[in-house]
Structure 1
Amino acid sequence: MIRMLLRVLGREYARPLRRTVALMTTTAIAEGLSYALLVPVLNALFGSTPGDAWPWLAAFGAAVAAYAALRYISDLSGFRVGAALLRGLYHRLGDHLARLPVGWYESGRVGEVSVLASRGVLQAMSVIAHLLAPFVSACVTPLTITVVILAFNWQLGLAALAAAPVVAAIQIRTARSTAAGDAERTERDQEATARVVEYLQAQPVLRAGGRTAERFRLLDDSLRDVERASRRSTRSALPGVLGLTLTVQAMFTVLLVLGTHLALGGSIGAAETLTILVLAARCADPLLSLSDIGGSLRGARTVLAGLDTVLRTEPLPEAAEPVQPVGRDVRFESVTFHRGGRTVIDDVSLSVPEGQRLAVVGPSGAGKSTLLQLLARFHDVDTGAVRVGGVDVRAIDPEVLMAQIAIVFQDVWLFDGTIEENVRLGRPDAGAAEVRAAATAARLDEVIERLPGGWATNVGEGGALLSGGERQRVSIARALLKNAPIVLLDEVTSALDPVNEAAVHEGIERLMAGRTVVMVAHRMRTVRRADRVVFLDGGRIVEDGSHDELLQAGGRYAEYWDLSLTPAASD
C-alpha cells in the first residue's frame, strides 16, 4: 500500500510521507510502552505498601502525556501532508492527462477519469489524513504490548505472540478474497458515472421521444450492477471480520487460562497476571479495528491502482532530438493503423503540396476522421509514416507540431467562460485588435452584436448557451486567430441551418486561404473547391483525382455527387 501510494504521488513527495509514517510508528510504539508502567503501579497497589504506586503512577501519567503530544503532532502531520499531497496529486494527474494522446480519451474514459479525478483522489489522500495513523497504531501498538508482556513473562508473551501470524494470515486472505469484488465495484462505479453523464446529455433526445416519465434502462441497469457488486464485496469481507473477532477472543481466553494456571502454580503474582490481562485487553481494540480500517484501505488501494494505471500510461514517445519541419506540405506514406482489433487505415499513401486543399470523402466508418487524427498525432501509426514539411510527425516536438495545425471539428467544445476567452485559446497573447479581426473574418461579430453581454457573454459548459452554428463560428475564429499554416476540417457544416452554414462557409474560406488544407466533408459543395479528392472506403483509397476527373470516371464519388444533388439530399 505504502509503495503504491509513493508511486502514485511521485518521488518528490516520498520524503514527507516517510517522515509522517515514521512519526506515526514512533507514536504507536510510545503508546504500547506507556502501558508497561501499569505493571509496577498494580504491583504496588496490590502489595504491602500501596503508597509506592504514586511515583509509578506519575511516571505513567508523564508517559501518557508524551504519547498524547506525539499523537497530536503525528495526526497534525498527517493532515498537513495529506492536504499538501492532495494539491500535488491533482497537479500531477492533470499534467499527465494533458500529456496523454488525445486518442486515449475514448468514450469509456469519461466515467473512469471522472471518478478518479474527484472521489478517487480524495479517497487516496484520505489514506494519509485519516487511515494511515489508525492502521499503523492497530499494527504496531499490539506488537509493542506483546513485547512488553514477553519481557515480564515469556510464557504469556509467547502465547500472545502466537496470535500475530494468525491475524496477519486473516488480513492477507481477506484482502485476496475481496480484491476481485473491490475491483468490480470500482468498475461498476465508473460505468454508472458514465451512464449518469450519458443520461444528462441525452435529455433532449429522451424528451423529444416523449420518454420523460420513463426510467432510463441503461442507467437503471448500471445502478443495479453497483448494488449487486456492493453486496458481493460485503459478503466476501464477512469471513475476515468474523475470523478476526474470533481470533482476538481466543487469544484473550488463552491468556486468561494460562495466566490463571501460572498464578495458581506460583510462577507469577496475581497483580502481574491482572496487569498482563489488562494489557491483552488493550490489544483487542486496535486489532478489532483492523476489519474496518482494512476494508477502507482495500477500497483506497483499488482507487490507487486505478490512479497508478493512468499515471503509468505512457504518453506518445517524444524524439530525443526533435526536427523542425521546413515546409507545410503533408504526406501519408503506406500508413496502416489498427484500433480495437480492426484495421481502420489500410496502406494509405497520399500527399498534399503546400498551399493546396485535399478533400476526403467516403461513407461513415471509412476512416476519414482517423486520417486527420493521425496527422495531428492523436495516435501513432502502426506502420508507415505521416510527414509534415518532410518530417515524420513522431520526430517533431508536440508543441511545434500543434503550432503548425489548426483544427475545426464538427462537434465543437467550448469551455465555461466568455466568448473572448474561448477565442483567445487560439493564441492567448493576441492583441484585442487581432481577436476582433478573427471574429469578423469568422462572422462571429454578428453573434456578439446580438448577445446582451457581447464579448463577455458566458457560453456555458461545452458552449451549451450557444447554438451549434454560433459555437462553430467561435471555433473558426479561434482557428483564424491561431493562424496556423495547416488546417484540418472535420465535417464542420454537416448539421447547420442554411444561414449558419453560409456564415460558416465564408469563415472557412477565409481560414483556408493560402494554407495547406485537409478536409473531411459530407456536404459536397465544399469538395468542389478542393485541388484533390480521395474517396476512402474500408480504410483504403478507392478513388483519387480532382472533382471533375472523378465525376467523369463515374465511380463511387460520382454516385455520392449525384445523391447530393437530389432533393432529399439537399433537404
Structure 2
Amino acid sequence: MIRVLLRVLGHEYAQPVRRTVALMTITAVVEGLSYALLVPVLRALFGNDPGDARPWLIAFGAAVAVYAVLRYVSDLSGFRSASTLLHGTYHRMGEHLARLPIGWYSEARVGQVSVLASRGVLQALGVIAHLLAPLISAAVTPLTVVVVMLAFSWQMGLAALIGVPVVAAIQVWTGRAMAAADAERAERDHEATGRVIEYLQAQPVLRAGGRTIERFGLLDDSLRGLQRASRRSTLSALPGVLGLTLTVQAMFTVLLVLGAHLALGGNIGAAEILAILVLAARCADPLLSLADMGGQLRGARSELTRLDALLRTQPLPEPGDPVQPRHHDLELESVTFRHGDRTVIDNVSLSVPEGQRLAVVGPSGAGKSTLLQLLARFYDVDAGAVRIGGVDVRAINTSELLAQFAIVFQDVYLFDGTIEENVRLGRPDADQAEVRAAVTAARLDEVIERLPGGWETNVGEGGALLSGGERQRVSIARALLKNAPIVLLDEVTSALDPVNEAAVHEGIERLMAGRTVVMVAHRMRTIRRADRIVFLDGGRVVEEGSHDELLHRGGRYADFWDVSLTPAGSE
C-alpha cells in the first residue's frame, strides 16, 4: 500500500512521506529497545543486590523519554505531512482532471470523482495521519523485541520468530478473503448513493404521479443490497480476527511453556524468563491491533487504488514543439471519431473560411455536438485531422488552442458566485468598462437591473437562481468578453421563451460579427444567416451548400425545412 501511496503522491510530495515513515520506524525500534532494558532491570532486582538495578532503571527511563519525544515528533510529522499532502493531492488531482479529455467525463465517472474528491482522498491520506504510526509500530516493535529475545535466549527468540510468518500469512489471507466483499460493499455504496440522489431529484415526478407516500422500489432495493453486502463484509472478517487472536495467544502460551522448561532445566534464569514474557505480552497488543486496523487499511487501500487509477489515466498529449496558428479558418479532413463501439463521426471533410459562418443541422444523434467538440479538441480524432489556420490542433498547445474559441452551449453552467464573477471567467484581467460593454451587448444589463442585488446577485450553484434565458445571457456576455476569433454555438436558443430568445439572438449576432462561426441550430432564423450549411446524419455529411441551394435540391435539408415550417415546428 505504501508503494501505491507514494505513486499517488508523485515525486514532489513522496519525499515527506518517506521521511515520516523513516522517523516512525526509528521510533518503533527505540520502543522495542526500551523494552529490552527490562531484562537487566529485572535481573538486578531479583539478584543479590537490588541496588544494582538503579543505573538500569535510569537507562530505562531515559529510553522511554527518548521514545516519547520521538513518538511526539513522528506523530506531529504524520499530521503535518497529511495536511500538506492533502492540499497537494487536491491540486494534483485538479490539474490532472483539467487535462483529461471531455469524453472521459461520463455521468458515472462524474459521480465517482465527486465521492473520491471528498471522502476518498480524506480516507486515503488519513492513513498518514492516523494509521501509519500504529501500523509501523505493530510491525516493527514486535520484530525488534524478537531480536532482543534472540540475544538473551535463542530458544525463546526462535520460538517467537516462528510466529512472525504465521501472523503475516493470516493478514495476507484475510485481506484477500475480504477483497471481494469489500469491493461489493463499495459498489453497493456507490449505487445506493446514486439512488438516494435520484430519489430526491425525482420528487416532482413522484408527486405528480401521486407516489409521495409509497416507497421508491429502486432505492429500497439498493439499500437492502448495501445492507447485505455490509453483513457479508463483516462476517468475512471474523475468521481473520479470530485466527489472529488465537495465533497470538498460542504464541504466548508456547513461550510460557518453553520458558518454564528452560528455567526448570537451569538454562536461563527466572528473571530473564519473566522479562521475556513481559516483552511477549507487550507485543501482543500491537499485533492484535492489526485486526482492528485491517478494515480501515483495506478501505484506504481501495480509495488509493481508485485515486491511482484516476491519476494514471492518460490526458490528451501535448505537442513537444507547439505551433501557433496565424489564421482562423477551420478544416476537417477525412475525420473519423468513435465512442466505444459506435462511430459518431464517419469520414467527414469540410472547411470554414475565416470570418464565415457554417451551420450544422440534422436529426438527434447525428454527431452535431461532437463535431463542435472535435474542433475544440475535447477529444482526439481516431483518423483524419482537424486544423485551425492550416495547423493540426494536436500541434497547438492546449491553452493556446482554447484561447482561439468562444463556446456557448445549450446547457450553461454557472459557478456559485456573483454575475460579475461569472462573466469575468471569459477574461479575468478585463477592466470594468470592458465587462460593462460585454454585459450590455449580451443584454444582460436588463437582467441585472431587475435583480434585487444587481451586480452582486449570487446566481447559486449551477446558476440555479437564474432562468435558462438569463443563464444564456451570462454565457454570451462571458464569450463576448473573451473576444476569441472563433465562435462555437450549440443549440443556444432551443428551449427559450420568445422574450429571452430575442435577447439571446441579438447577443449572438454581436458575438458572431467578424468571427469564424460554427453553429449547431434548429431555428430557421439562425440557419438562414449562415454562409454555408451542412446536413449531418449518422456521422456523415449528407448535403452541403447554401440555404437556397439546398432547398432547390429538394433533399434531406428541404424536408427538414418543410417540417420546421409546420405549426408544430414553427417559431
For 1:54-73, what per-residue CA distance to the aligned partner results, in whole angstroms no more than 9, with x for missing partners? 33223222221221111111
Q: What residue in structure 2 maps to residue 56 of structure 1? A: 56
Q: What residue in structure 2 maps to residue 170 of structure 1? A: 170
1:172/1:343 Cα in 2 relative to 1: closer, same or farther (>3 Å)? same
Q: What residue in structure 1 maps to residue 72 of structure 2? A: 72
Q: What residue in structure 2 maps to residue 447 of structure 1? A: 447
Instruction: Tell me if structure 2 keeps the 8 A contact 1:108–1:194.
Output: no
Q: What residue in structure 1 maps to residue 100 of structure 2? A: 100
Q: What residue in structure 1 maps to residue 487 of structure 2? A: 487
Q: What residue in structure 2 maps to residue 110 of structure 1? A: 110
Partners of 1:547 and 1:219 in 2: CA distance: 51
* Structure 2 residue identity aligned to 1:322: P
Following superposition, the deviation at residue 209 of structure 1 comes to: 4.5
TM-score where L is the length of structure 2: 0.96
User: Between the two proteins, what is the percent identity of the paired residues?
Assistant: 81
1:490/1:197 Cα in 2 relative to 1: closer, same or farther (>3 Å)? farther
Q: What residue in structure 2 maps to residue 511 of structure 1? A: 511
| Matching of residue 351 in structure 1 with residue 351 in structure 2 | yes
Instruction: Tell me if structure 2 keeps the 8 A contact 1:111–1:192.
Output: no
Q: What secondary structure is seen at the aligned counterpart in 1 of 2:107?
A: coil
1:22/1:107 Cα in 2 relative to 1: closer, same or farther (>3 Å)? same
Q: What residue in structure 2 maps to residue 387 of structure 1? A: 387
Q: What secondary structure is seen at the aligned counterpart in 1 of 2:319?
A: coil
Partners of 1:98 and 1:490 in 2: CA distance: 22
Partners of 1:480 and 1:420 in 2: CA distance: 13
Q: What residue in structure 2 maps to residue 463 of structure 1? A: 463
User: Does 155-164 or 52-61 show the bigger shift?
Assistant: 52-61
Q: CA RMSD in A?
A: 1.7
1:13/1:191 Cα in 2 relative to 1: closer, same or farther (>3 Å)? same
For 1:114-154, what per-residue CA distance to the aligned partner results, in whole angstroms no more than 9, with x for missing partners? 11111111112211110000000000000111111111111
Q: What residue in structure 1 maps to residue 569 of structure 2? A: 569
1:561/1:399 Cα in 2 relative to 1: closer, same or farther (>3 Å)? same
Aligned pairs (5 A) from 1:495-534: 495-534=495-534
Instruction: Tell me if structure 2 keeps the 8 A contact 1:186–1:303.
Output: no
User: Does 211-220 or 305-314 show the bigger shift?
Assistant: 211-220
For 1:292-342, what per-residue CA distance to the aligned partner results, in whole angstroms no more than 9, with x for missing partners? 222211211111111111111121001111111121111111111111211
Q: What secondary structure is seen at the aligned counterpart in 1 of 2:144?
A: helix
Q: What residue in structure 1 maps to residue 547 of structure 2? A: 547
| Matching of residue 20 in structure 1 with residue 2 in structure 2 | no
Q: What secondary structure is seen at the aligned counterpart in 1 of 2:415?
A: coil
Following superposition, the deviation at residue 191 of structure 1 comes to: 3.8
Aligned residues: 571
Q: What secondary structure is seen at the aligned counterpart in 2 of 1:162?
A: helix
* Structure 2 residue identity aligned to 1:275: A
Following superposition, the deviation at residue 196 of structure 1 comes to: 4.1
Partners of 2:243 and 2:561 in 1: CA distance: 74
Q: What residue in structure 1 maps to residue 320 of structure 2? A: 320
Q: What residue in structure 1 maps to residue 35 of structure 2? A: 35
Q: What residue in structure 2 maps to residue 228 of structure 1? A: 228
Q: What residue in structure 1 maps to residue 405 of structure 2? A: 405
Q: What residue in structure 1 maps to residue 3 of structure 2? A: 3
Partners of 1:525 and 1:210 in 2: CA distance: 41
Q: What residue in structure 1 maps to residue 127 of structure 2? A: 127
Following superposition, the deviation at residue 186 of structure 1 comes to: 3.1
Following superposition, the deviation at residue 204 of structure 1 comes to: 4.4
Q: What secondary structure is seen at the aligned counterpart in 1 of 2:400?
A: helix
Structure 1 unpaired stretches of 5+:
none
1:199/1:414 Cα in 2 relative to 1: closer, same or farther (>3 Å)? farther
User: Does 277-286 or 216-225 show the bigger shift?
Assistant: 216-225
Partners of 2:260 and 2:21 in 1: CA distance: 39
Following superposition, the deviation at residue 193 of structure 1 comes to: 3.8
Instruction: Tell me if structure 2 keeps the 8 A contact 1:46–1:271.
Output: yes
Partners of 1:412 and 1:209 in 2: CA distance: 29
Q: What residue in structure 1 maps to residue 435 of structure 2? A: 435
Aligned pairs (5 A) from 1:264-279: 264-279=264-279
Following superposition, the deviation at residue 207 of structure 1 comes to: 4.4
Instruction: Tell me if structure 2 keeps the 8 A contact 1:110–1:194.
Output: no
User: Does 41-50 or 428-437 show the bigger shift?
Assistant: 41-50
1:106/1:144 Cα in 2 relative to 1: closer, same or farther (>3 Å)? same
Q: What secondary structure is seen at the aligned counterpart in 2 of 1:435?
A: helix
Following superposition, the deviation at residue 187 of structure 1 comes to: 3.4
1:122/1:404 Cα in 2 relative to 1: closer, same or farther (>3 Å)? same
Q: What secondary structure is seen at the aligned counterpart in 2 of 1:518?
A: strand
Partners of 2:208 and 2:427 in 1: CA distance: 39
Partners of 1:188 and 1:412 in 2: CA distance: 32
1:151/1:70 Cα in 2 relative to 1: closer, same or farther (>3 Å)? same
Partners of 1:506 and 1:184 in 2: CA distance: 54
Q: What secondary structure is seen at the aligned counterpart in 2 of 1:33?
A: helix
Q: What secondary structure is seen at the aligned counterpart in 2 of 1:527?
A: helix
Q: What secondary structure is seen at the aligned counterpart in 1 of 2:37?
A: helix
Following superposition, the deviation at residue 483 of structure 1 comes to: 1.0
Structure 2 unpaired stretches of 5+:
none
Partners of 1:155 and 1:56 in 2: CA distance: 25
